[in-house]
Amino acid sequence: MPKKVKKEEIKKASIIKRVLAYIIDSLIITLVVSYPFNNYLKSMNITLKFTDLFTTKLTSDLYIIFFTIAILSLIYFAALEYYLKQTIGKIIMRIKIISLNKEFKISQVIIRNISKVVDILLFIDVIYMLLSPEKERLFGKLSKTQVIIK
Protein backbone atom coordinates (compact mmCIF):
# COMPACT_ATOMS: atom_id res chain seq x y z
CA MET A 1 0.00 0.00 0.00
CA PRO A 2 1.48 3.40 -0.96
CA LYS A 3 2.49 5.65 1.88
CA LYS A 4 0.36 8.73 2.52
CA VAL A 5 2.23 12.00 1.73
CA LYS A 6 2.42 14.00 4.92
CA LYS A 7 1.19 17.59 4.59
CA GLU A 8 4.02 20.00 5.49
CA GLU A 9 3.25 21.46 8.87
CA ILE A 10 3.45 25.20 9.28
CA LYS A 11 5.07 26.00 12.59
CA LYS A 12 3.81 29.41 13.74
CA ALA A 13 6.32 31.74 15.36
CA SER A 14 5.70 32.48 19.03
CA ILE A 15 4.66 35.93 20.27
CA ILE A 16 7.95 36.33 22.13
CA LYS A 17 9.99 35.75 18.97
CA ARG A 18 7.82 38.15 17.00
CA VAL A 19 8.01 40.84 19.69
CA LEU A 20 11.79 40.49 20.00
CA ALA A 21 12.14 40.74 16.23
CA TYR A 22 10.04 43.91 16.28
CA ILE A 23 12.16 45.43 19.08
CA ILE A 24 15.36 44.72 17.10
CA ASP A 25 13.84 46.30 13.98
CA SER A 26 12.67 49.32 15.99
CA LEU A 27 16.20 49.86 17.30
CA ILE A 28 17.58 49.72 13.76
CA ILE A 29 14.93 52.17 12.54
CA THR A 30 15.73 54.55 15.41
CA LEU A 31 19.37 54.47 14.44
CA VAL A 32 18.96 54.74 10.68
CA VAL A 33 15.78 56.79 10.26
CA SER A 34 15.25 58.89 13.41
CA TYR A 35 18.86 59.67 14.35
CA PRO A 36 19.51 62.22 11.54
CA PHE A 37 16.68 64.37 12.98
CA ASN A 38 18.10 64.25 16.49
CA ASN A 39 20.22 67.40 16.20
CA TYR A 40 17.36 69.44 14.82
CA LEU A 41 14.91 68.30 17.50
CA LYS A 42 17.53 68.95 20.19
CA SER A 43 18.14 72.49 18.95
CA MET A 44 14.38 73.05 18.98
CA ASN A 45 14.26 71.87 22.60
CA ILE A 46 11.53 69.39 21.59
CA THR A 47 10.85 65.82 22.54
CA LEU A 48 8.48 64.35 19.98
CA LYS A 49 5.52 62.48 21.37
CA PHE A 50 2.91 60.79 19.28
CA THR A 51 0.13 62.60 21.15
CA ASP A 52 1.56 65.88 19.78
CA LEU A 53 0.01 64.89 16.44
CA PHE A 54 -3.40 65.66 17.89
CA THR A 55 -2.49 69.06 19.27
CA THR A 56 -1.91 72.30 17.47
CA LYS A 57 1.64 72.38 18.81
CA LEU A 58 3.10 70.74 15.72
CA THR A 59 4.29 72.94 12.93
CA SER A 60 5.00 72.09 9.31
CA ASP A 61 8.58 70.96 9.90
CA LEU A 62 7.56 68.55 12.63
CA TYR A 63 4.83 67.08 10.42
CA ILE A 64 7.46 66.54 7.72
CA ILE A 65 9.70 64.76 10.24
CA PHE A 66 6.85 62.53 11.43
CA PHE A 67 5.81 61.74 7.86
CA THR A 68 9.39 60.97 6.73
CA ILE A 69 10.05 58.67 9.66
CA ALA A 70 6.75 56.82 9.06
CA ILE A 71 7.28 56.37 5.31
CA LEU A 72 10.91 55.27 5.63
CA SER A 73 10.03 52.82 8.40
CA LEU A 74 7.32 51.35 6.19
CA ILE A 75 9.80 51.06 3.30
CA TYR A 76 12.23 49.21 5.59
CA PHE A 77 9.65 46.60 6.63
CA ALA A 78 7.94 46.30 3.23
CA ALA A 79 11.07 46.08 1.07
CA LEU A 80 12.82 43.50 3.23
CA GLU A 81 9.74 41.36 3.78
CA TYR A 82 8.72 41.47 0.11
CA TYR A 83 12.12 40.52 -1.29
CA LEU A 84 13.61 38.46 1.55
CA LYS A 85 10.50 37.43 3.54
CA GLN A 86 12.46 38.60 6.57
CA THR A 87 13.60 41.81 8.29
CA ILE A 88 16.86 41.98 10.27
CA GLY A 89 14.92 41.27 13.47
CA LYS A 90 13.28 38.25 11.89
CA ILE A 91 16.61 36.97 10.54
CA ILE A 92 18.09 37.13 14.05
CA MET A 93 15.02 35.44 15.57
CA ARG A 94 14.98 32.85 12.75
CA ILE A 95 11.43 33.51 11.65
CA LYS A 96 9.94 34.53 8.30
CA ILE A 97 6.65 35.43 6.71
CA ILE A 98 4.66 33.45 4.20
CA SER A 99 1.61 34.30 2.14
CA LEU A 100 -1.53 32.34 2.70
CA ASN A 101 -2.47 33.12 -0.92
CA LYS A 102 -0.81 31.56 -3.93
CA GLU A 103 0.93 34.80 -4.81
CA PHE A 104 2.91 37.09 -2.55
CA LYS A 105 1.99 40.67 -3.38
CA ILE A 106 3.58 43.97 -2.30
CA SER A 107 0.15 45.14 -1.09
CA GLN A 108 0.19 42.30 1.45
CA VAL A 109 3.44 43.49 3.09
CA ILE A 110 2.22 47.07 3.10
CA ILE A 111 -1.03 46.10 4.84
CA ARG A 112 0.71 43.89 7.41
CA ASN A 113 3.21 46.64 8.28
CA ILE A 114 1.04 49.75 8.18
CA SER A 115 0.24 49.37 11.87
CA LYS A 116 3.94 49.44 12.76
CA VAL A 117 4.28 53.06 11.66
CA VAL A 118 0.98 54.40 12.98
CA ASP A 119 0.96 54.05 16.75
CA ILE A 120 -2.80 53.98 17.19
CA LEU A 121 -3.10 51.12 14.67
CA LEU A 122 -0.28 49.28 16.42
CA PHE A 123 -2.19 49.62 19.68
CA ILE A 124 -5.33 48.13 18.09
CA ASP A 125 -3.19 45.42 16.48
CA VAL A 126 -1.56 44.38 19.75
CA ILE A 127 -4.87 44.35 21.64
CA TYR A 128 -6.39 42.19 18.90
CA MET A 129 -3.42 39.82 19.01
CA LEU A 130 -3.62 39.41 22.79
CA LEU A 131 -7.36 38.74 22.67
CA SER A 132 -7.51 36.47 19.61
CA PRO A 133 -7.24 32.71 20.24
CA GLU A 134 -4.73 32.16 17.41
CA LYS A 135 -2.54 35.09 18.67
CA GLU A 136 -2.44 36.74 15.28
CA ARG A 137 -2.21 40.47 14.61
CA LEU A 138 -5.28 42.04 12.98
CA PHE A 139 -3.24 43.47 10.09
CA GLY A 140 -1.41 40.17 9.71
CA LYS A 141 -4.76 38.48 9.26
CA LEU A 142 -6.07 41.15 6.88
CA SER A 143 -2.97 40.80 4.72
CA LYS A 144 -3.34 37.02 4.64
CA THR A 145 0.20 36.44 5.77
CA GLN A 146 1.66 34.34 8.54
CA VAL A 147 4.90 34.50 10.56
CA ILE A 148 6.47 31.09 10.82
CA ILE A 149 9.63 29.52 12.17
CA LYS A 150 12.22 29.23 9.44
Partner 1 sequence: MKKWQFIILILGIIFLVSFLVSKTIEGTESLKPNRIAIIPIYGSITVDSSSDIFFDQAASPSTVVIEALARAEKDPSVKGIILEINSPGGTVVASREISNKIKKIDKPVVSWIREVGASGAYWIATSTDYIVADPMSITGSIGVIGSYLEFSELFEKYGIKYERLVGGQYKDTGTPFRDLSNQEKQLLQSKINMIHEAFINEVATNRKIDRDTVRELSTGMFYLGQEALDLGLIDELGSQDEALNKIKGLAKIKDAEVVSFQRKVSLVDIITRLTAYNSFYIGKGIGTSIFADINSNSIFSA
The single residue among 7, 39, 51, 103 that binds partner 1, judged by CB under 8 A, is: 39
One-letter amino acid for residue 114 of the chain: I
Among the residue ranges 4-12, 55-63, 101-109, 136-144, the one whose residues contact partner 1 (CB under 8 A): 55-63
* 65 touches partner 1 (CB under 8 A): yes
Question: CA triplet 24, 93, 95: central angle to 5 degrees?
Answer: 120
For the packed helices 15-29 and 60-84, what is the interaxial angle rounded to 10 degrees? 130
Long-range contacts of 79-87 (CB under 8 A, 24+ apart): 81/109, 81/112, 81/113, 82/106, 82/109, 86/150, 87/21, 87/25
Residues 15-34 that bind partner 1 (CB under 8 A): 28, 32-34
The single residue among 54, 60, 131, 134 that binds partner 1, judged by CB under 8 A, is: 60
If the CB atoms of residues 69 and 111 are measured against partner 1, the closer one turns out to be: 69
Residue 147 near residue 96 (C-beta atoms within 8 A): yes
Find the shortest distance in angstroms from Cβ 84 to partner 1. 6
The single residue among 13, 21, 80, 93 that binds partner 1, judged by CB under 8 A, is: 80
One-letter amino acid for residue 148 of the chain: I
* Footprint of partner 1 (CB under 8 A): 28, 32-37, 39-40, 43-45, 57, 59-61, 64-65, 68-69, 72, 75-76, 79-80, 83-84, 88, 91
